[in-house]
Structure 1
Amino acid sequence: MAAAGGTRRGARLSAAALLLALLALVALLALPALRAGHGGEGRAGSPRLPPGLLEELRQRQRDLRRLAAGGEAERGGGGGGLGCADLRGATGGGVLGSGFTKVVERAALAGGGGAVALKSVHGGGREVRQCEQRYGAPAGCRRLAAYKLLKEVALLQRLRHPGIVQLRGQCYDSGGDPGAGVTAVLELGAPLEMIQLLQTPWEERFKICLGLVKLLFYLAHSPLGSIVLLDFQPRQFVMVDGNLKVTDMDDASTEELSCKEDNDCTLDFPAKSFPLKCSSAGKCDGINEKKNLFNAYRYFFTYLLPHSAPPALQPFLSDILNATGDLRYGINETVTAFEKVLHLYKSGLYLQKRPLLLKEYISLKGFRTVEAEDYKCWPSYSHLGCLLSVHSPEEAAAICNSQSQCQSFIVTQQRTWTGRTLASFQSSPTDLIPDANAVVYIKRSASSGKRL
């Protein structure tokens, strides 16, 4: 692992010191390229870099300097404190994934420091290989890829949000290859599995969409201006403790498209196009925000929002889908719409007025049913039975009445992220055991079969 071998220095730096260190690293990476570009050699025996590659290196160097020198990292963020010395003795846990530019490996830090993700240049990735085919300069191509990773480090130092993966540190092995020696240390997340998400309860899927909307609101109003995720795909996100986080920021851009007239500002997607306005400043007005929002609609909202949602909330969710799918909503309006749905759901105000059904049940306080595998419902919080989120026992009674198998239920002490409780539904009254904190509800028609 590039970060775990060779000469290393520990680094426990403040966010400001890390930005200064990053600027120094930019200069270090640029030195061989600039020497090669002026007819010299970066190192003994290294060839002169082709002019095209040299220009690409200079462009990425300028972009990185602008980001790194753009100001102080936000309070409480930037860089953590892990450096090269902290990675000494780390044990590898295998490759988590690889892409166009980078490879990500799992590592367990020595001394009980926990597991992290180590992101480094992918020497066999398409970017390096295509660059080598164009220019025939392996070392220069790895440096080109390294700038992309350093850009990501700079962005993670500046941008702090619960929806962005946390940068825990960085390491630069000056004794190795200038490209291969750069490693970013990130909090560890699990790959996003959309098929698995589709099988989770609606409340959990809504949480993911709400977290994404809050992230896009932050990116639209970030300290660096409006930021667009150019490579917006589910694979760019991970799950950390049940929360969605973007983990790949190297293709993020703070630049909005320049224009001379409105015709220069068409936002094109495979199935739709949106005409935008050219502002007086010569920029396509809101293009970054709108591109992020439509990508969220087509990759996340359409799949995760509507299915198995409470019927009374479905009209509100349809409005969100229609408005974001047509880009009638900006991110501010979308956040407001999501927060309205959340309020209705948490408060129980979405529940339609209906006859009181709980009176059809006998309540037995101080008891709970014996846990056993029972009938299943979808989508359940448990694969062993039917465990659903409810606002109140009255809502649980309505759910039980709607399921032909259900004869009893218990409102558990477990709570979801919204503060709602989980109710376990069962097909027949089973043996009851004492539990001072529990209440069992049994249909009166089935109560004769209970045993105490």
Structure 2
Amino acid sequence: MTFSKTTFSVFFFVALLFLALTVVLKQWHFGVRETFGDAAAPDGLTPVRNRLLQQLEERQQELEQLCISSDNVPTTLGFMDPRTPETEIGCEELSGVNAVDFLGSGYTKTVLKAALPEGLFVALKSVNHQGTDMRLCMEDFKDHQSCHELVSFKLRKEIVLLQRLQHPNIIKFKGQCQDSALVGGITAVLEQGMPLQMIQLLQSPWEERFRVCLGLVRLLQYLSSSPLGSVALLDFQPRQFVMVSGELKLTDLDDASIEEARCEEDSDCLLQFPLRNFTFRCSSSRICEGLNEMRNLYNAYRYFFTYLLPHQAPPVLKPLVEKIMNSTGDLKQSINKTLVDFEEVLHVYKSGLHLENVPPLITKDYAVLKGMRSVGNMEYRCWPSYNEQGCVLSVHSAREAALICSSHPQCTSFSLSNERTWTGRLLASFRSGFSHLVPDVNSAVYMRRVKASGAVL
């Protein structure tokens, strides 16, 4: 067999490279691995390897800064299965876990639904080895172990943030496990949520859409002055949220920032969006104070409020809703004042003040059968309904239900039970008829009275 000059040159280069890799050592400060390189640079590392080390160093510094910013600094940055009363699921509990469903994946992470031995369902987040971040890293550095370490920093950052940011609209952090067999391998254990489906949410009753927006505003108010300072959600998208028992919860925090932009003049405090730009004042301390808060608020407006708030809002609430839309769309006021406006809408809606123009004697047109429930129902559909197969709506009282039934030509009766929505309002079921009644102490049936001619009043 003969070798060409090109083949020999390649072989000679590979041999030299192998010799260099076995001689040059660099201990990384965050792990127990060794990094090798050729002699192309004074420090013995290639430019590509130096770039990789620099990125790893930056990620580590970001994690350390997060811990310094917290009043409750952990005892270690190794994330080796710390336990608290709230986060007591660790490697031992996960040893018998069974993955039962795939919930989703992104550039960095994969999320699985898992069943713990005691029957508790949780979400498990881990590094997505086929994700975009891993692929791009491998293209640049061609080092699987190093890339896994680099990509895993996003998940580590998210764990730190979830441990320190406690709010009803942030997903609950239940524990973690670092697999010692794989450097950088780490799994976060979270409460299980369902991915936010905007199309489905758009078809839901206004009360449920308002609940999502209210929860979001409460979350942003908390983030504006969190224990870590003002937190900006740099990748603000509906996909960063999940639904848990009807409540909106933030689940992705790896792109969050706790630093306000620094500035020399007002023009440095610029917020740019596809359709609008906003400029704010540079403070005397040379920081764009409030920029994180305003960024979050406008993103809430363009991704959530615009689609969920105005449509089908109760008539008396529309002026209040329009005020919210105008103030957030133009960033005229702070998140604190925006939350006050949302709480006012909630108060009016729960108290029944929006029914002040409804005739008080409207229920006189209905015969009431308390302690009864209708069966053999002849239901009709209305939109938006809490029941896709019928017409089930939220009402403040029998008076509002009577008003709704009177406005539906096909409605001949409605029933009320003790079932309530998150606001405490009653659920009313509207029907076009029924065959007979049965006793039910928790229910009441309201039947529209008929004229002598037999026509419904």
TM-score if structure 2 supplies the norm length?
Answer: 0.85
User: Which residue in 2 is equivalent to 1:21?
Assistant: none
The answer to whether residue 231 in structure 2 is matched with residue 227 in structure 1 is: yes
Q: CA 1:292 to 1:203, structure 2 compared with 1: closer, same or farther past 3 Å?
A: same
Q: Distance in 2 between matches of 1:205 and 1:194?
A: 10
Supply the AA of the counterpart residue of 1:126. Answer: T
Tell me, in whole angstroms, the C-alpha distance in 2 between the residues paired with 1:171 and 1:50: 29
Q: Give the superposition deviation at 1:250.
A: 0.6
Aligned to 1:36: 35
Please give the per-residue CA displacement for 1:74-124, whole angstroms capped at 9, x wherever unaligned.
9x97860111111112111232111111111121112x1411111111111
After superposition, the Cα gap between the structure-2 partners of 1:194 and 1:446, relative to the gap in structure 1 and judged at 3 Å, is: farther
Contact 1:429-1:446 at 8 Å conserved across structures: no
- Cα 1:32–1:366 change in 2 (3 A) is closer
Counterpart Cα distance in 2 of 1:136 and 1:195: 41
Q: Is the 8 A contact 1:153 1:184 kept in 2?
A: yes
- Pairing 1:305–2:309 present: yes
Instruction: Report the alpha carbon displacement of residue 361 of structure 1 after superposing the two structures with TM.
Output: 1.6
Q: 1:51 aligned to 2:57?
A: no
Paired letter, 2:71: G
Matched, 1:382 2:381: no
Give the SS at the match of 1:144: helix
Q: Secondary structure at the match of 1:282?
A: coil
For 2:113 and 2:28, the matched residues in 1 are separated by 27
1:92 matched to which residue of 2? Answer: 99
**Counterpart position of 1:61:** 60
Q: Give the Cα–Cα distance (whole angstroms) in 2 for the partners of residues 163 and 88 of structure 1.
A: 29
Give a deviation string over 1:288-313, Cα, whole Å, max 9, x none.
Answer: 00111111111111111122221111
Rg comparison, structure with higher value: 2
Q: Cα offset for 1:184?
A: 0.8
Q: Does the CA contact (< 8 Å) of 1:73 and 1:157 recur in 2?
A: no
Report if aligned partners of 2:67, 2:73 keep a CA contact under 8 Å in 1. Answer: no
1:83 matches 2:90: yes
Kindly indicate whether the alpha-carbon contact (under 8 Å) linking 2:100 and 2:114 is maintained by their aligned counterparts in 1. Answer: yes
* 2-structure distance, mates of 1:224, 1:326: 27
2:264 is equivalent to residue 265 of structure 1: no
Any conservation in 2 of the 1:77–1:160 contact (CA below 8 Å)?
no
Shift of 1:373: 4.8
1:141 to 147, 153, 157: 147
Candidates 158, 161, 165, aligned match of 1:159:
165
Rounded to whole Å, the distance in 2 between the matches of 1:375 and 1:32 is 68
In 2, distance between residues paired with 1:407 and 1:101?
A: 55
Structure 2 gap ranges (5+):
1-26, 40-44, 75-82
CA distance in 1, matches of 2:73, 2:414: 51
| Structure 2 residue aligned with 1:5 | none
SS class of match (1:226): coil
Please give the alpha-carbon distance, in whole angstroms, between the structure 2 residues aligned to 1:425 and 1:130: 56
Residues 271 and 173 (structure 1 numbering): CA distance in 2 closer, same or farther, change over 3 Å? same
Which of 119, 127, 134 pairs up with 2:133? 127
SS at match of 2:262: coil
Between the aligned partners of 1:246 and 1:77, the Cα distance in structure 2 is 21
2:243 to 239, 242, 253: 239
**Aligned mates of 1:322, 1:187 — CA distance in 2:** 35
Do the aligned partners of 1:373 and 1:384 also contact (CA within 8 Å) in 2? no
Q: 2:332 aligns with which of 316, 319, 328?
A: 328
Alignment check: 8 A CA contact 1:226 1:288 kept: yes
CA-atom RMSD in angstroms:
2.5
Post-superposition offset of 1:448: 9.2
* CA–CA separation in structure 2 for the residues paired with 1:405 and 1:233: 41
What is the deviation of 1:73?
A: 7.0
Q: Indicate the residue corresponding to 2:409 in structure 1.
A: 404
> How far, CA to CA, are the matches of 2:378 and 2:326 in structure 1?
41
**How far apart are the structure 1 equivalents of 2:453 and 2:435?**
11
**Compared CA separation, residues 339 and 48, structure 1 to 2 (3 A):** same
Is it true that 1:350 corresponds to 2:357 in the alignment? no
Q: Counterparts of 1:300 and 1:291 in 2: how far apart (Å)?
A: 14
* Corresponding residue number in structure 2 for 1:71: 71
TM-score by length of 1: 0.86
Give the match for residue 108 of structure 2: 101
Letter in 1 for 2:157: K
Q: 1 or 2 for the larger relative contact order (CA 8 Å, sep ≥6)?
A: 1
- Residue in 2 aligned with 1:341? 345
Q: Name the CA distance, whole Å, in 1 between partners of 2:171 and 2:424.
A: 25
Q: Equivalent residue for 2:438?
A: 433
> In the alignment, residue 146 of structure 2 is paired with which amino acid?
G
1:36 aligned counterpart, secondary structure: coil
Is 1:359 aligned to 2:364, yes or no? yes
Unaligned runs of 5+ in 1: 1-26, 41-45
**2:324 is equivalent to residue 317 of structure 1:** no
Find the counterpart in structure 1 of residue 79 from structure 2: none
Structure-1 separation of matches of 2:137 and 2:372: 69
- Do the aligned residues in 1 keep the contact of 2:416 with 2:443 (CA within 8 Å)? yes
Q: Contact (CA 8 Å) 1:78, 1:157: kept in 2 or not? A: no
Please state how far the C-alpha of 1:391 moved relative to its aligned partner: 0.8
Whole-Å separation in 1 of the counterparts to 2:264 and 2:404: 58
Q: Which moved more, 1:404-413 or 1:46-55?
A: 46-55
Q: Which amino acid aligns with 1:31?
A: G
| Cα distance change, pair 371–235 in 1 and its aligned pair in 2 (3 A) | farther
- Matching residue within 169, 175, 181 for 2:181: 175
Where 2:312 maps in the other structure, the secondary structure is coil
- Structure 1 residues 447 and 299, CA gap change in structure 2 (3 angstroms): farther
Aligned to 2:11: none
- 1:272 partner amino acid: R
Partners in 1 of 2:239 and 2:304 — Cα distance?
12
- Residue among 145, 161, 185 paired with 2:189: 185
In the alignment, residue 174 of structure 1 is paired with which amino acid?
A: S
| Count of residue pairs the alignment pairs up | 414
- 1:138-193 Cα deviation digits (max 9, x unpaired): 221111111111111111111111111111111111122x23x2111111111110
Map of 1:393 onto structure 2: 398
The one-letter amino acid of 1:434's match is: P
Mapped to 2, the partners of 1:133 and 1:283 lie a distance apart of: 37
Determine the structure 1 residue equivalent to 2:377: 372
Q: Is the 8 A contact 2:220 2:297 kept in 1?
A: yes
**Whole-angstrom CA distance in 2 between matches of 1:327 and 1:386:** 38
